[in-house]
Every structure is written in C-alpha cells, then in structure tokens.
Structure 1
Amino acid sequence: MVELADLELPDNPKLASNIAHFARALRRAGLPIGPGRVVDAIRAVEAAGFTERRDFYWTLHACFVSKHEESTVFAQLFRLYWRDPRYLEQMMSFMSPMVRGAAEERTAQAAEKRAAEALLDGQERDTPEQEEAKEDEMVLDIDASQTISAQERLRTLDFEQMSLSEMHEARRILAGLSLPVKPLRSRRTQGLPGRIPDWRGTQRGAMRRGGEIIDFSTKRRRIRYPNLVVLCDISGSMSQYSRAVLHFVHGVANRRGQDWAQVHAFTFGTRLTNITRHLRTRDVDAALKAAGAEAQDWEGGTRIAACLHDFNRDWSRRVMGQGAVVLLITDGLDRDPTADLGREMQRLSLSARQLIWLNPLLRWDGFAPRARGIAAMLPHVTSLRAGHNIASLQGLADALSRPEDAGEKTRLMDVMREAAPDPDANRFAFTRAANTQT
C-alpha cells in the first residue's frame, strides 16, 4: 500500500491547511461544504490516522460527501490534489484551446473538467492567440463594433466545426436551454369549478338540502403533460451531433419544474439501446460516459429500420402512451436495403402525437431527399428541421407550440413530387411498346 508520506507534496506541508484548501476546491466544484465540515474532517483525520491512502480517502469521503452523485467529483479532485502534485500543468493542457487531434490523446474522465476548473480557480495559460490579442488590443476594440458577439456566432456555428473550447462553451449553453410544452386536456374530469355541468354533484348537493336545488355544480377537464421520447442516431456520421443533442436532452430531463411527464432517451446505430436511466444522473459527464459504455455501437454503422422495428415492438406501448412527442435525430442514411423503413416510420408516427425529425444535413442549401431512407421517412414526420447548431435546437420550442408548422417538410415533399416519374406517361409508353410488338 502506498503511504502519503511517499507522495511529493508542496514545500513545508501543513496537513490542516491542505485539507482546508481541498475542501474549498470541493465547494467550487459544487459540493455543499462549510467550515463545520472542514473542522470535522481535520478531527477525523487526527483520530483515524493517515498512514494509508485508502484510509485517508474514505475518512475525507465520509466527511465531505453526502450524496451518491458527489462521489465522482470527490474522487477526481482527490486524485488530482493528493496523488498528482503536477495536476495544474496536466489539466491546463485539457482546458486550453488546441487542435482536436492533440487534445484527444488524453480524454478527460467524468467530472474531471469540473474538478480541473475548481482547482485552477480561473487561472489561464497564455496562448499565442492571447498574446497577439494583447498586442493588437486597440485594433480589436475598433473592429468589435462591426462584428457580432462571440456568443451569437457560437449559436450559429456547426457542431462539427467547433473547437474544443467552443464545444465546451456550447455544452454550457445547451445545458441551460429549456423545452416547454403545452399541457393536454384529458377526457377525464375533476370536481373543480369550470364550464362543464356536474349533474351528479348537483343532485348530491340537493339531497343534502332535502331535494332543493340552490346552485349548480360544475367541473373541468383534467390537465396532463405528455412524455418526451428521444431517438438519437449515434452512427459515425452523427457522432458529433449526437453528443451535443444528448447534452441538451440531459438538461431537459434534469431541469426542475419542467413540464414533461417523463423523458425517455434511446440511441441507435446497429442496435437500439435505452439510456434513460443514465440521463437521470445529475453530472452530465458521468451520464454520457455511462451511456456511451452501454451503447456499444457508438460511431458504428446505421440500421434505422431495424432499430425502429425493435422500438415499435418492445418499447412503444411502454413509453408512447397519452400523446407522447417523439424527437428523432438522424441523417436518414439507412444502410439496410432490405428493411421496410417506411412501414416502421408509419407505425411510429401513428403512436405519437408529434414526430419531429432533426436532420443535420439540412445545413446544406442544396439538400434534396435523394437518398432512399430520407424519401421513405419524410412523408410520416410531423415536422422536419435542422439540428446542426444551437440555434436549431432553440427552434424546437416553436415546433412544439405550432404543430401546423412542418418546417422543411413541405418544401422537400414538393421536390420529391417534381422528381417522381409520371405514372400516366409510363403507362402510355408501355402500351405503345406492346402495340408495336403486336
């Protein structure tokens, strides 16, 4: 067992000061730690001793962690603070803007970014771009009035074109987006004042007064909220967009006071995977890591029809009741030529109150439904919209509030009709060829 005495700690170490600094880092990472817990932790370490790292870890864990979801943040901070004395240099390399290939050599684990931000506490490394910006400060001040803000540019930037720092900021914006939905009026009623006459209630009230009717009772229809079902394509061509959309769905599923009855999430590539329970984790990094570990077909092939068939057969009756809204995120490029994608889409649309399709390919101005899978899916969706940036995800609220707005579906259906061959012309050509042979 490795002892803490063997670890390389700062010069002139003071254990109480280090524990207090470690507690402040935990507090910046989101753990509710006050001065009382710090005092208890110091006393607990004095009583339990700290000859072994495991005993020291669990002693601080018992003092600082009160919820299960806080364990991941605590573990990352403990590893960075007590085991690796050069954590600042290592985490600086993760947080500084750089090319994607160099940054992906070491992927940050769940909650590691939050731990790094808590330990760094606003420190930044000077990059060549920042040095040039300092030298040309006056030029930037002059040009800033003629350009849009960085946040507005980020909202319209394609997810696939974002750098690591831009994607980090985009995920923060996506976590704060909301997806409101209007309540549905049920056929069932409740005994509250309304516009529907309640004859039974009126008779019961009259019987209490000897049969005399003094006032009429009324009732109103019950209010209920629908479920949100998300079907997200995680194939190779959709991986970057899928991660961004799942960040958005995680924020919707964990936001307090949201109007959805329940939020169900499924991923599909070559097979269907239910990741609903993973998205209930409060930490988004831990949630997506667990979802990616269970979805073994991430960045693999695409079998849309087969996966929709599995959903219609195994999950439709469980999650699609009471007017559910389905959010389908895919490019529609099905790789299975033998499957009946149109039939599965028709069955899915009949079970949903709204079927909204987000297709990142709509970012191209000249997009046309030439692919077989897209042509089979398009007639059965309620609305077709782009899903390649933050602004397109913000437009989902309009799609829910205005079911009559079909988005790009109307235009693309007209393109399909113009490109389709004329059946009367084909029949005339066939008749003329038969008469010629005769």
Structure 2
Amino acid sequence: MTTSGGHSGSHRGAGVVAERIDDAPTALVGFARALAAAGVSVCSTRTATFLTAAAALRYDEPGAIYWAGRLSLASSPDDLAIYDAVFATYFSLDPEHDQSTVRRQAPVLQASVPLTEDSESREEPKEDSYALPPVVRARASAEEVLRNRDLASLSRAEKQEMARLLELLRPGLPERKSRRRRSHATGRIDPRRTVRAMFAAGGELAVPRRHRRRTRPRRIVLLIDVSGSMAPYADALLRFAHVVARYRPNASEVFTIGTRLTRITRSITMRDPDAALRAAADTIPDYSGGTRLGEVLHAFVDRWGHRGTARGNVVVIFSDGWERGAADELAEQVARLGRLARAVVWVNPHKGATDYAPVQSGIVAVLPHIDHFVAGHSLAALEELLDVIRHA
C-alpha cells in the first residue's frame, strides 16, 4: 500500500493504519463504511465509539484494532463472520497471519474475572501493553438486550424473538367518563333511587343512594407510515398495532399511510398475528412506496375524523416525517386533527438515535401541533409509548 509519504510495503493486521498515524481515523472510518456495505448495521454512533476505542489503544497493533472494531461495530452474533472477512480483506492480512492470530494477540475480554483474592494478586500488565484491565461483567439476559435493540438492525432470528416479545405486551389503554351512571357507595346522590327507597320504607327517610359516572375505553387510532423510508420498522409496528387492536377490538382503529390511506382494522384484528399481517399486506396497495402525509391526513380528517373516529380520542402517527408534498399542508392537517382529538402522539423511530435532530421538513412543520413526540425504535421505546397512550 502506498502512502502520501511515497513508501509502500506489505503490512499485517492494522499496519495499514500504522503507516501514518495522522491518516488512521480516515482509514478506520473507511473500514466502518466497508462493514456497512457488507451488510452490518453500522451507524455514526458506533463509528465514533470505534474511533474512540482505537485511539485509547494502539493503532499499530492488529489485536487492538480488531477488538476495538468487533466490540463497537458488530452488534449481533450474525455479524461476526462478516466482520472477520471484511477485517482480513480491508487490512490485507497475509494467509499465515489470519484472524486467529489477531485474536491471540488481542486481549481476552470474553471471560469474566471472579472476585477472589487470587485475582487481586495477579501480575499487573506492563505499561507498554495495550491490554485492558480485568473487567467484572454483569450478565444480562438475551431478552433484556433485545429490548433495547433498534428494530431495523435485527437479524431474522432476532425478529422472530421480537415478534414473540411483542405478543407479550399488555396495553393499558386510556379511559373516559361516560354519560351513564352506576350505583356506587360514594359520589353524587341519586334522587330517583333515594325516593324509591323512601317509598319502600313507608315514607321514612332512608340512607341516600349514590351513583357515579361509568368509565368507557377511549378509542385509539393508529396511523402507520409504510413508505420506503419506514419499511425496516413496518413489520414490528404492524405487530404492535395487532397487540393494541386485539386488546380492545371495539375501541381501536388502524390505518396505513403513504401515498394512500388504507383502513386495515378488520384484517389486523385476526387472532393469529402472522395471518393478520399477511391479510393486512394484501390490503395495503402502497407498501414501501412514497410519502404524501399531508394529502393522506387530509383524507383521514375529512372521511374519518369528523365522523367521530378521531373526535375526543388518542391518535398515534408512526412516521419519520419525510414528506414529498408541501410541509404547510401537513402542518395544517395535523392542526385540524389536534383540534378534534384528545391527544396527537407522533412516533418517529429515528428519534431513538443519540445524534438525532428534528430537521426534516415534515417534523419541523408538525411539532407545534402535536402533544407528544416520542421514539419507537425498540421494544423498550414501544413500552414507553404505551405508557404515554395510557395517560394521554
């Protein structure tokens, strides 16, 4: 490999980075991009973590670069084989200096260190060694790790496990007071029942009867963006809608939005979730298409909102806010919807990223007109969404 200095040669492991320390960050960013091109879910946050870890170690040590990248860029066991192959290709490892050699040179980070006196009396590592000090790890269950994983980065096996975990959700939907009343030990005096009790007692004044207003479930309306930019999250969000709709079939409405408005309430309430998703997919004509949120919400408010579907109820919109139409139209329709609904909740999966900023024209337009702006990128975020809906 030839550098700007003019010399070239064969390097092992991270030697390509060691040629010029000034170019090391550029080379490491290129490696992260190569992993992303190979199918590994690498975001800017993981790349920044990789650069920080590599800087804390030594650029000229292959083991240090290998483990810094493996621990920060490989997010699932399915990524390890791809990571090893891309690492060997990108850093031009010689056949006799393969990944197993790199692993042997790298610090052993996989085993936990027991808290015993022997561990305290072990020999301290040398100052010039890049080996990290022993770390005591707390083991987390696979389900707990999966709860915080981004839904768009899951492998096929993890998606199946996520589908099982979504079925275990127990929504606590909001309630509203009904006009009807029922007898109760406390509350306002019920004149009719009190007078009847007096007649039954021969005109004697009886203990006043009381009643309170009944409670009824408040309707939940889910509008799920199924455009191309939301396709990685569509399956999990539709399964979430299935859980909500099955919990209160008579108090839930589910629509998909993209270039058209499609009501999928009937299909999504089928008992089997896989059958429900297949039926919904057959109903949706614009899956993974474009986005015209303003026009679609206009159609929803005109056709469904004023008829009572949204009036006094909680409307949840799942969308990243990418709008091909006019942002002013979108803002106007969300404002109309906000005047009808009890609360408007906007769920953007990208809000879960640490470096997210609401700069999309659609998001900027609707923020003044919504009541809650939350993330929906993971199972934990969807659980928090249920809590927002419950108290809306």
Q: Same fold (TM over 0.5)?
A: yes
1:332 alignment counterpart: 321
Q: 1:193 aligns with which of 185, 189, 202?
A: 185
For the 8 Å contact 1:100–1:164, the answer to whether it is kept is no
1:320 alignment counterpart: 309
The number of aligned residues is 272
1:267 alignment counterpart: 256
Q: Is 1:343 the equivalent of 2:332?
A: yes
Q: How does 1:6-405 map to 2 (within 5 A)?
A: 142=112, 145-254=137-246, 258=247, 261-318=250-307, 320=309, 323-337=312-326, 340-403=329-392
Shift of the 274–390 alpha-carbon distance from structure 1 to 2, 3 Å rule, reads same
Residues 257-284 of structure 1, C-alpha deviation per residue, up to 9 Å, x if partnerless? x467422110011000000000121222
Q: Distance in 2 between matches of 1:382 and 1:338?
A: 19
1:110 alignment counterpart: none
Report the CA distance between 1:343 and its aligned residue: 1.5
Q: Distance in 1 between matches of 2:263 and 2:321?
A: 20
Taking only the aligned residue pairs, the percentage that are identical comes to: 36
Q: TM-score, normalised by structure 2?
A: 0.63
Question: Which secondary structure does the structure 1 equivalent of 2:337 belong to?
Answer: helix
Shift of the 368–139 alpha-carbon distance from structure 1 to 2, 3 Å rule, reads closer
Report the CA distance between 1:170 and its aligned residue: 1.0
| Letter of the structure 1 residue corresponding to residue 286 of structure 2 | D
For the 8 Å contact 2:327–2:365, the answer to whether it is kept is no
2:92 alignment counterpart: none
Shift of the 366–227 alpha-carbon distance from structure 1 to 2, 3 Å rule, reads same
Report the CA distance between 1:203 and its aligned residue: 2.1
For the 8 Å contact 2:328–2:365, the answer to whether it is kept is no
Q: Distance in 2 between matches of 1:152 and 1:238?
A: 25
Residues 285-310 of structure 1, C-alpha deviation per residue, up to 9 Å, x if partnerless? 22111211211100000000111111
Q: Distance in 1 between matches of 2:333 and 2:232?
A: 26
Runs of 4+ in 1 over 4 A off after TM superposition: 138-147
RMSD: 3.0
For the 8 Å contact 1:227–1:260, the answer to whether it is kept is no
Uncovered stretches (5+) of structure 1, i.e. residues with no partner? 1-98, 102-127, 130-135, 404-438
Uncovered stretches (5+) of structure 2, i.e. residues with no partner? 1-37, 41-79, 82-102, 114-135
Q: Distance in 1 between matches of 2:320 and 2:381?
A: 15
Question: Which secondary structure does the structure 2 equivalent of 1:246 belong to?
Answer: helix
Q: Distance in 2 between matches of 1:321 and 1:310?
A: 13
Question: Which secondary structure does the structure 2 equivalent of 1:195 belong to?
Answer: strand
Q: TM-score, normalised by structure 1?
A: 0.56
| Letter of the structure 2 residue corresponding to residue 204 of structure 1 | R
Residues 63-109 of structure 1, C-alpha deviation per residue, up to 9 Å, x if partnerless? xxxxxxxxxxxxxxxxxxxxxxxxxxxxxxxxxxxx989xxxxxxxx
Report the CA distance between 1:322 and its aligned residue: 6.8
Greater helix share, structure number: 1
For the 8 Å contact 2:310–2:337, the answer to whether it is kept is no
Q: Distance in 2 between matches of 1:385 and 1:276?
A: 23
Question: Which secondary structure does the structure 2 equivalent of 1:328 belong to?
Answer: strand
Question: Which secondary structure does the structure 2 equivalent of 1:327 belong to?
Answer: strand
| Letter of the structure 2 residue corresponding to residue 328 of structure 1 | I
For the 8 Å contact 1:226–1:322, the answer to whether it is kept is no
